[in-house]
Structure 1
């Protein structure tokens, strides 16, 4: 399936660990004389090959076939002899380092072994991980799943707020001719010793470090969440990994720009190309715990206004991302106790340093679920990502910490954890999404879930301090912020708080609702609207507080991906009871329509049409469609004229299928004013 193998001019051999391959050796000065001629094959890896480090394999050729071979050793034998040619079978050990190997053939006369001649085979030989082979550490017992997790070139990445997430199509393209050379460039820049490149734990940790460039180590992608991508490619414009890897290989420089789901898409490409089973995982409502407390803390002053900086963490601020995307890789974990192998979480998005570098994982998913934070690597950070408690604190000079706890939500984080279901691709819906939440944590609200989180707390000194703080006692007012799952762009929406006075006394209430546009990382962009009110409530009374927001108030304040966050704070003056909550949702944009003929012939130009309706009352400028399908066309960028307000735009493109059967085409649209418009279609090639 690799383009490099099928190159008509310079085909490159690509093998997997633990497999056998054959080669023919032709002698220019006569035939091979068994018993008189001595032939050794020497396979060399890295700048200083050494048999003791596993970076040099030596095979002495004989006609004797070894019946029982040690899978940790190189061996070979002569299968057939011709007039001036011999055919040789070579077996590759199941634990050799992966990457580019070089072959030397050494010949000598048995009677005068000092007279050696060495032939250097010019082509590079790639050796990759072998998940089909039981002795390889990345072996996956259910081999059917490898069709998805190693061989599938197109997938989906779930993005968006909880309640409005969608599967975004992504072309992994791991068999493209630029992918393996770009990976080799990345690995060489990582300074991972060549002798360690057969250990999937070390290789995957390095992948999580090198797919981002935050350590200034020449990694693949530059992360940016600013909204200004004028000197590069906007994250939402990418259709897949191939264009990124090609640019990285061509320029030898980190590529602008990526965000979490772009990092995850590239990681999957890298892992699948190397032979490591991999999938993309999306955590809807994801915690970023900056101080290892296993809590996400938000502070308010005495006037109920949010305090932007965390007073208990000078190094950073906790945050909640609408969604966050990382990867799982499949492998044995001989460095951990039995039971912690299988899927491991790695994250290339640069959030926090681990061992002084921006890297994360591999963290055993089972260890995350059990709260076993003492096991390598970064299990504590991942536990917080999927299961941190959300705490709200209010300034209180009488409290030992200077702040008293006013609110605790044990259910907000890790609402739903998704990946793509194997063997299914739904271009128009979500039938191909798989909920894997219960592989990361026990069911919310159960005693088992609390016990696993408290198990993690016991392993963190900072977490112990936060979890020993007593919860707020039950008070006599009840509050609820009504969730908004999604709003279609151009629609009016309302923020609603329900307040119930369960006491037998009149209560004086002060309430505030604020709406911000936010980046999906949780950072504020612009204030959209704010409403405050003071009123009295009779015993048993229910009040509804509403804030109505029209399109004119939010359209020009939205940033990429259309995320909005609502904050609500209510204070009861008589009892000093304070409640705070927040909700986020996504303003939904229209998809790209892709129209294709019912029958598309192989190797013939076919016209397709792409279009969508501009939902905004403004002109869209610098408009581009990005189109990609692995066997249809590669990284095609199509510019189009400015799109007028509410205009239905349509544009024509051509494809020339190189493979028959079911293919997938992915498209994105990007302009200065509107982006993150996507679409895909299945195509049957005859």
Structure 2
């Protein structure tokens, strides 16, 4: 990378004149671990020296009579500093430049420039001044991008292990875990930080933020702090308050945009946002918001990973309890608009020190860009807008709910109590507590592997299920234990519903069972599309008398982030049980009973209510599960590592393993960075055990990890869509 044109000020005499500047891009990019991030700019990391060579017109610089001064600037902020021709120690808090022995050649000089470790992340302008006693000549020689430096111990984002940095900064490939904790499915994602234009899009995001547009110099001054950066970027990933990247949508038609499930990488989203003059890209949901945020943070040098919380609570009223209502026949009711439990929710953890809180809160921080609630704020700006975090994971585990930012909301997401109530004729006739459901599994992609790493105990103390002692924290005080929030629930007398919400008194603790009657519900195996769904209800009579029971079993389709829809299957039975007896009640839902309602990856809420006919006591058990999709095979001829700018063949196929014929079958193949547009294969009908296949030619123009995505749809069910992904590693020759 060379800068051969420049602007020059001053009168020229016989002194040294600058001809061009060699930015030594390849050498600097290797040294700074920034290879592939940009073809347009020199990209370096703060606190680490980088080189550039000045080439002169007729002779080299004479250090005795000529002085070199450099000037770096962002906005109206600038700093001038001399080039020193000695090895004297520089102030690490200031910009410095040195020329070492041997760096002066007949017509050139090589300069080693070092920024302070607490420098702003930005695109900098660089000027060179050549000064003598008589005059000064000034040259605008170009620009460079300065990023955070997780390799440098003094940087707030320093990460000690190279394997961690490789996974959480350099890797352009990741996994999003989805589904339910009983059937975790993985969805590959291409972060795409090495795709052309992605770095520039990330810098543009900072330049169009409300903070920058309001006060550029103040924004530049604060950009050295990863806490500030993460809040600005978090708010900018959603478009709710600004010129943000993504618009969220969770229901209704997606015809004026892209269905969130069709995204497989961040680069396409960032390119579309920039090319539309910063109009929001439609549409995203939690994993799309999180993956794009992870891309931006990795590009800027802040270690980040995508994390999934299974059974994540949305505690709208902030009381750390989620109320759920069921009918006396096991149907879940939509009576609570404030609270909900998402089967999975995806956010990002970013690695940084927290000098505002103390060393005990350094490390992973939750940053959640999905627009759910407005931020409670703290010492930094952006109070009352849609960003969440950075919230120390350590604060969640220690229950320090005043630690900024938004810790109480994040805490509820992983550790709220669920209060389930059975409602009959507008009255709550039974109530029970579940202290284990929320945050049952929290995981991320394991370093160097596609398997999940369980993070649950980093968020939750080992005494789960016990009354929650809540600590509140402020930066200026020690932890203070203020109160205890006890587990709630017990068998109650009938309690009226008021405005759709139960008006209940907290009176004690229960374990989700009627006295003397223990009930559980188990789904057998992993339910798959086209197969029967088998389940078992276990009933144990712990009393000393026989009982006559009524069993009500109910199944409802639900979205991962909302309450269920109407029931699509139910059954009722009378059951007789002896003292001390354990009954296993087997049930099956046939494909013909659900295929018009359920599709691949859909989630089902299954609940059973057991009622004692004589005492009217009731016990409730529930389970939610997702259907495994049909398998699509993707194979790269010659292996999954391909050469850049070389044509390769990929074969995509699907065999109908269902017992019925599929009509109007469409097999679609696409892949950002591998394939232009979409390619399709169609069949009028696909008999059982018959195959549909498509061979496509792929070619990658940039290195890194790319994804091929195959989608199968058919007219038997508009919802019955299956997707498969395949990872392709692109290498240079």
* Bin for the TM-score computed over the shorter chain: 0.7 to 0.9
How far off its partner does 1:18 sit? 0.7
How far off its partner does 1:393 sit? 2.8
Q: What residue in structure 1 maps to residue 341 of structure 2? A: 320
SS at match of 2:292: helix
Partners of 1:387 and 1:453 within 8 A in 2: no
Q: What residue in structure 1 maps to residue 119 of structure 2? A: 96
Q: What residue in structure 2 maps to residue 516 of structure 1? A: 556
Q: What residue in structure 2 maps to residue 120 of structure 1? A: 140
Call closer, same or farther: CA 1:503–1:569 in 2, change over 3 Å. Answer: same
Call closer, same or farther: CA 1:280–1:395 in 2, change over 3 Å. Answer: same
Q: How many residues align?
A: 652
SS at match of 1:641: strand
> CA separation in 1, counterparts of 2:147 and 2:37?
22
**1:437 equivalent in alignment to 2:452:** no
Partners of 2:417 and 2:487 within 8 A in 1: no
**1:582 equivalent in alignment to 2:604:** no
> CA separation in 1, counterparts of 2:444 and 2:84?
50
Q: What residue in structure 1 maps to residue 668 of structure 2? A: 624
Match among 458, 462, 466 for residue 450 of structure 1: 466
Match among 640, 650, 654 for residue 608 of structure 1: 650
Q: What residue in structure 1 maps to residue 603 of structure 2? A: 563
> CA separation in 2, counterparts of 1:560 and 1:288?
25
TM-score (norm 1): 0.85
SS at match of 1:488: coil
SS at match of 2:288: helix
Name structure 1 gaps, 5 residues minimum: 50-55, 311-315, 426-431
Q: What residue in structure 2 maps to residue 205 of structure 1? A: 231
| CA offsets 1:520-565 (integer angstroms, 9 cap, x no match) | 1143245311234456655445555555322122222125632111
**1:406 equivalent in alignment to 2:440:** no
Q: What residue in structure 1 maps to residue 419 of structure 2? A: 391
Q: What residue in structure 1 maps to residue 699 of structure 2? A: 656
Relative to its length, the structure with more strand (as a share) is: 2
SS at match of 2:388: coil
Q: What residue in structure 2 maps to residue 471 of structure 1? A: 509
> CA separation in 2, counterparts of 1:578 and 1:165?
31
Mapping for residues 44-193 of structure 1, pairs under 5 Å? 44-45=73-74, 47-49=75-77, 56-66=78-88, 68-79=89-100, 80-111=103-134, 116-122=136-142, 124-192=143-211, 193=219
> CA separation in 2, counterparts of 1:394 and 1:163?
25
How far off its partner does 1:195 sit? 1.6
Call closer, same or farther: CA 1:8–1:212 in 2, change over 3 Å. Answer: closer
How far off its partner does 1:5 sit? 7.9
How far off its partner does 1:14 sit? 0.3
Q: What residue in structure 2 maps to residue 313 of structure 1? A: none
Higher relative contact order (CA 8 A, sep 6+): 1
Call closer, same or farther: CA 1:586–1:306 in 2, change over 3 Å. Answer: closer
Q: What residue in structure 2 maps to residue 640 of structure 1? A: 681
Partners of 2:435 and 2:465 within 8 A in 1: no
SS at match of 2:663: coil
**1:276 equivalent in alignment to 2:302:** yes
How far off its partner does 1:413 sit? 2.0
Call closer, same or farther: CA 1:357–1:573 in 2, change over 3 Å. Answer: farther
Partners of 2:519 and 2:537 within 8 A in 1: yes
Partners of 1:161 and 1:284 within 8 A in 2: yes
Match among 392, 395, 398 for residue 364 of structure 1: 392
SS at match of 1:419: strand
> CA separation in 2, counterparts of 1:292 and 1:610?
48
> CA separation in 2, counterparts of 1:231 and 1:462?
49
Partners of 1:380 and 1:456 within 8 A in 2: no
Q: What residue in structure 1 maps to residue 3 of structure 2? A: none
Q: What residue in structure 1 maps to residue 358 of structure 2? A: 337
| CA offsets 1:409-428 (integer angstroms, 9 cap, x no match) | 12222222221111224xxx
**1:679 equivalent in alignment to 2:725:** yes
How far off its partner does 1:385 sit? 1.9
Partners of 1:526 and 1:557 within 8 A in 2: no
How far off its partner does 1:170 sit? 1.4
| CA offsets 1:288-326 (integer angstroms, 9 cap, x no match) | 22222222211357887654232xxxxx43222222221
SS at match of 2:117: coil
- Report the more deviating stretch, 515-524 or 269-278: 515-524
Partners of 1:35 and 1:110 within 8 A in 2: no
| CA offsets 1:369-396 (integer angstroms, 9 cap, x no match) | 1111121112222222222222113569
How far off its partner does 1:567 sit? 2.3
Partners of 2:517 and 2:619 within 8 A in 1: no
SS at match of 2:99: strand
Call closer, same or farther: CA 1:380–1:8 in 2, change over 3 Å. Answer: closer
How far off its partner does 1:505 sit? 4.1
Name structure 2 gaps, 5 residues minimum: 1-25, 212-218, 377-383, 474-479, 490-505
- Report the more deviating stretch, 524-533 or 174-183: 524-533
SS at match of 2:291: helix
Match among 532, 537, 540 for residue 492 of structure 1: 532
How far off its partner does 1:510 sit? 4.1
> CA separation in 1, counterparts of 2:482 and 2:369?
24
TM-score (norm 2): 0.80
- Report the more deviating stretch, 272-281 or 345-354: 345-354
Match among 299, 310, 315 for residue 289 of structure 1: 315
| CA offsets 1:107-145 (integer angstroms, 9 cap, x no match) | 444345xxx5442234x3111000000110000012332
How far off its partner does 1:231 sit? 2.4
Partners of 2:488 and 2:509 within 8 A in 1: no
Q: What residue in structure 1 maps to residue 589 of structure 2? A: 549
